[in-house]
Amino acid sequence: MTWTVPSRIETERLVLCRYTPEDAEALATVAARNREHLVRYLPWTREEPQTVAQRRQYIATSTADFDAGRDHTLGMFTRDGGELIGGTGLHVRSEPVDHVEIGYWIDAEREGEGLVTEAAAALTRVALELLRVPFVGIVHAPTNSRSAAIPQRLGYARQPSCGSPTCTDGGDSVVPVEWHATTEALANEPLASTPRPTVYDADGEPIPWPA
Is residue 48 within 8 Å of residue 32, measured between CB atoms? Answer: yes
36 band by pLDDT with thresholds 50, 70 and 90: very high
C-alpha–C-alpha distance, residues 157 and 181, integer Å: 6
- pLDDT (0 to 100) of residue 95: 85
Is 90 exceeded by the pLDDT of residue 52? Answer: yes
Distances in Å between the alpha carbon of 22 and those of 9, 34, 59, 60?
A: 19, 20, 10, 11
- The average pLDDT across 68-74 equals 97
Is 90 exceeded by the pLDDT of residue 2? Answer: no
164 band by pLDDT with thresholds 50, 70 and 90: confident
- DSSP string for residues in 172-209: EEEPPEEEEE-GGGGGSTTGGGSPPPEEE-TTSPBPPP
Is 90 exceeded by the pLDDT of residue 166? Answer: no
- The average pLDDT across 82-106 equals 95
User: Does the CA dihedral 39-108-119-16 come out positive or negative?
Assistant: negative
- The average pLDDT across 168-180 equals 94
- At residue 6, the 3 state secondary structure works out as coil
- pLDDT (0 to 100) of residue 128: 98
- pLDDT (0 to 100) of residue 123: 98
pLDDT above 70 as % of the chain: 100
103 band by pLDDT with thresholds 50, 70 and 90: very high
- The average pLDDT across 120-148 equals 97
Distances in Å between the alpha carbon of 117 and those of 5, 52, 175, 211?
A: 19, 29, 23, 25
Residue among 1, 169, 23, 139 nearest 86 (CA): 23
Is 80 exceeded by the pLDDT of residue 1? Answer: no
114: left (phi over 0), alpha (psi -120 to 50) or beta: left
